[in-house]
Structures are given as C-alpha cells and as structure tokens.
DNA sequence: AATAATATGTAACCTATGTTACTGCCTAAG
DNA sequence: CTTAGGCAGTAACATAGGTTACATATTATT
C-alpha cells in the first residue's frame, strides 16, 4: 500500500514530505459502503485517497440526503481540513463508494507542514479550489437543471467514477443521492431507456450512449 | 480609510502585516450596484472588505441567476483566492450591495504571506472555511427548502446585512436573487403579509416579525 | 416448491412553481 | 397636468415532480 501511495502522490509532494507522511500516517483500507465520517462527528485526521472513491453527502434536518461530489485518488477532503483546524463537527457524511485505500494524516501535522512544505501548501489550496468548484457545480445542477438533466449528469459521473458502463444501483439508491423519490427516478429512467440511452435491469443499469 | 482598515483587521493580523498591507494594498470605495468582478473575468487582486457588503452571484448558461452569499467587514473572497492562484477565470459575479470600502491585495503577496505570517495563513483558511460553509447552507436551502422558506431566509439575511427593517427591493430583484419569477415572489410575499410578517410597499418591504 | 422480501412499472392524483395576460397604481419626465 | 414606464396584484393555466397505491417480476429464505 505504501508503494501505491508513493506512486499516487509522487507528482504532488517532494521526497521528504512523502517520507514524513509514511512515517506518521495511518494506512487504511475500507470496504464499499463503509461510513468514514458522519454529520456531527469529530475528525480523527485528514484522509488522502490512494485508490478507490468516496462519496460526500449532505443531509437535511428531516430526511433528505444529497450527493455533493466524489473524492478520488489524489484528492483530500477540504471539509475535513476546515473542520480539523476549527475543531468543529463534520458538516457532511463520507461513504466509501467502492473498496478504498487511504492514509490518515494527524491534524497537528497539517498546519506544521503548511509552513514547512510549499508542495503541501499548494496541495491544500488546490484541494480547496477543487472542492469549492465541485460544490458550485453541484449547486448549479440543483438550481438550474431539471431532474432529468440531473439524472443524466449523475449517470455520467457515476460511470466515470466506477470506470464501467454497468452502474450497480437500485432506483431507490439513485433517488436518495438526488434527494428525489423512487417513482420519479423510475419514470425518468424509463424515458432515458426509450430514448436509447440506457438499458434497465434489476439492480443495475447499462449505459449505452449519452 | 486606512484607520478604518486598521480597526477592522487589528484582531486578525499582527502590526507588521497590517503595515505591509497598507503599503502595497490599493484602497478603494465602490458605490452600491457597482460590479467588482464578473463571470469569466480575470482578477486583479484579493479584496479585503473594510465596510459595506458585497453580494456574490452565480449565473446559469441561459438566463438564471442565484445569490450565493454576502461578504462583509473582515471577509474576503475565497473564490478570488483560488482563481488567483490557479490563474483561472472567475466563476462568480460580485456586486456591491451598498457603498463599500475595500483594499485590494496584489496576488503575488498572497502566497508570500502564507509562508511568512501565521495570522495571514489562519485568515485565509478561516475564510475558506466560512465560504465553504456558506455555500453549503445555500445549497441546503435550495435542495431541501421550498420557495416560501427560501424567501423568508432571504428577507432575514438581507435585514441582517442592511441592519434595517426596511428592505429596499422590488419583487423582481428578489426573484432574480432567488432564481425565481416576479409573479411567484409577489404571491408568496402577499402570503407573508397576510400572516403579519411584513408590510408591502412600492420598492420596499417593511419587516415586522419573522 | 412455497413463501417472503425486494425491485421495478405504471396509473391516478396533488401541489408548488412557473407562465401569460391583464389590471390598476404610482412616479418621473415632458 | 398629462403621459409613459415601471411596479405590484391577481386570475387562469401548464407542467414537473412528489405521493399513494397496486401489479408484477426477480431473488432470497424456509
């Protein structure tokens, strides 16, 4: 796993920082569906993704839930950073979308390295930049697009993440991610099928052309 | 204006940093309605707010527009920072909500100060933290609340910003900020009036109790 | 094999929100 | 004063999306 980390982050960090991370970081492998953090919890450390993907969700006070974005190899969670530094509770939920390898960096090191390593500083800022933009695009999607377009975007993004034209999701699961209802998603998926964009099956969807 | 800046940022920055900012910063006063930056433009510098308020808007490819949040005294625009450092175009539009005083910090200094001043570093991170959370709450509002609740929140927030129970807006303007239509806003405002929450007038709304 | 649990398809209906159209009113410009 | 343009009120209607209900198909459990 350490070797995998090295190849993933070689382009981001200098040798000495890589070694420091290996020294103090906690390497971890989590299975698909594992909840890494929930809303209201405090954080143990800052996760750097080595492989796999993590989905970041936002939850309503009542029942609603909404997929914000995915984290992938080379990403880290800006929310985590802000939470760590302010020592506040998590505003989001993080769930492994597939089997995923991460390394957890202790909170204290974060700040220290920002002063010490230019590459770390850039990494942290770039990460903020990416997350902010992803959040903006999620917001765009909700504010300006109708559900059919959002569903299309969801399918495209999911395909990109799993790197496969087979999307293993029930309609209910998709409905949760889009904060909609099962019936609505079924309806729209059927429309997409009639248009020749997907093939629908029990428990999975085959993407044809979008 | 320099004195006003000093008092506003004394709690954030150490003396030497304050002096550096005064030395290299460009002090500016902009009038209500002035557009500081538009989508697709490149940035001249990083603005620190001394007084007043700036509203940050997101725009659709077609016609839609959406208020994201306000910047106030002591705030800065994280979007600006990320844009500056990545040298990318602005993703948002910024318009002075009232007469507003700012100081523009040159881009090059930003990175330099991050290594040099701990207080600047904290300020930048705190700013990211705040903006990310504000964006999250805006997203919540759109994803989970109906228009009547969003309108209420809008009125509350606006009252907080202008520090006055008189809100000088036409229904059309509110509709733009909420990415809705004038008729819908008129309808909902009328409902709020019937419930005794506001008094409606031409060109302004008086807030009673919310 | 029989039964239970889960996933999907579909119809019928409701409501919030958007759209169009028209009204009267206020106010600024002439 | 007169008039034109901007603002607000309201009705009538269209539609997307949420809800309820039920049928059917697939898979898991006994």
- The residue ranges of every structural domain in chain B are 2-143, 146-207
Q: How far apart are CA A187 and CA A155, in angstroms?
A: 15
The region of weakest confidence among B84-93, B108-117, B181-190 is B84-93
Instruction: Give the sign of the dihedral formed by CA B104, CA B106, CA B109, CA B111.
Output: positive
The DSSP element (H or E) to which B179 belongs, if any, is none
Across the range A63-90, mean pLDDT stands at: 84
Across the range A187-198, mean pLDDT stands at: 96
- Give yes or no on whether A2-143 and A145-207 have one common fold: no
Q: How far apart are CA A152 and CA B171, in angstroms?
A: 34
pLDDT at A84: 67
Q: Are A77 and A94 in contact (CB under 8 A)?
A: yes
| A121/B143 CB distance under 8 A | no
Statement: residue A86 has pLDDT above 70: no
pLDDT at B43: 83
pLDDT at A32: 94
For domain B146-207, which architecture applies? Orthogonal Bundle (1.10)
pLDDT at B80: 75
Statement: residue A40 has pLDDT above 70: yes
Task: Please tell me the distance in Å from A144's CA to the nearest CA on chain B.
Answer: 7
What count of CB pairs under 8 Å joins A to B?
96
Q: Are B56 and B93 in contact (CB under 8 A)?
A: yes
The DSSP element (H or E) to which B26 belongs, if any, is strand B26-30
Q: What is the CATH number of domain B2-143?
A: 2.60.120.10
Nearest chain A residue (CA) to B179: A143
Sorting pLDDT into bands at 50, 70 and 90, what band is B128? confident
Fold of the domain built from segment(s) A145-207: Arc Repressor Mutant, subunit A (1.10.10)
Q: Which nucleotides of C are covered by protein (CB under 7 A)?
A: 6-12, 16-21, 26-27
Exposure class string for B22-49: b at 16+ Cβ within 10 A, else e: eeebebbebeeeeebbeeeeebebbbbb
Cα radius of gyration rounded to whole Å, chain B: 18
The region of weakest confidence among A24-38, A72-86, A164-178 is A72-86
The region of weakest confidence among A7-21, A95-109, A124-138 is A124-138
Alpha-carbon distances of B178 from A110, B35, B53, B148, rounded to whole Å: 38, 19, 18, 11
Q: Which nucleotide is nearest to B173 (CA to C1')?
A: D7
Q: Which nucleotide is nearest to A203 (CA to C1')?
A: C7
């Amino acid at each position: 796993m350490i070797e995998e980390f090295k190849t993933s982050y070689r382009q981001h960090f200098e040798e000495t920082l890589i070694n420091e991370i290996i020294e103090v970081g906690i390497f971890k492998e989590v299975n698909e569906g594992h909840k890494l953090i929930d809303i209201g919890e405090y954080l143990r450390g800052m996760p750097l993704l080595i492989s796999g993907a993590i989905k970041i969700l936002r939850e309503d006070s009542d029942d609603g839930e909404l997929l914000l974005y995915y984290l992938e190899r080379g990403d880290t969670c800006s929310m985590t950073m802000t939470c760590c530094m302010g020592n506040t509770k998590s505003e989001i939920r993080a769930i492994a979308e597939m089997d995923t390898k991460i390394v957890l960096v202790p909170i204290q090191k974060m700040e220290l390295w920002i002063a010490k390593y230019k590459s770390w500083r850039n990494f942290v800022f770039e990460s903020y930049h990416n997350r902010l933009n992803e959040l903006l695009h999620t917001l765009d999607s909700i504010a300006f697009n109708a559900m059919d377009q959002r569903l299309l975007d969801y399918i495209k993004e999911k395909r990109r993440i799993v790197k496969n034209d087979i999307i293993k999701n029930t309609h209910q699961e998709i409905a949760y991610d889009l904060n909609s209802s099962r019936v609505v998603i079924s309806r729209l998926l059927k429309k997409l099928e009639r248009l020749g964009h997907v093939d629908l099956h029990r428990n999975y969807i085959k993407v044809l052309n979008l």
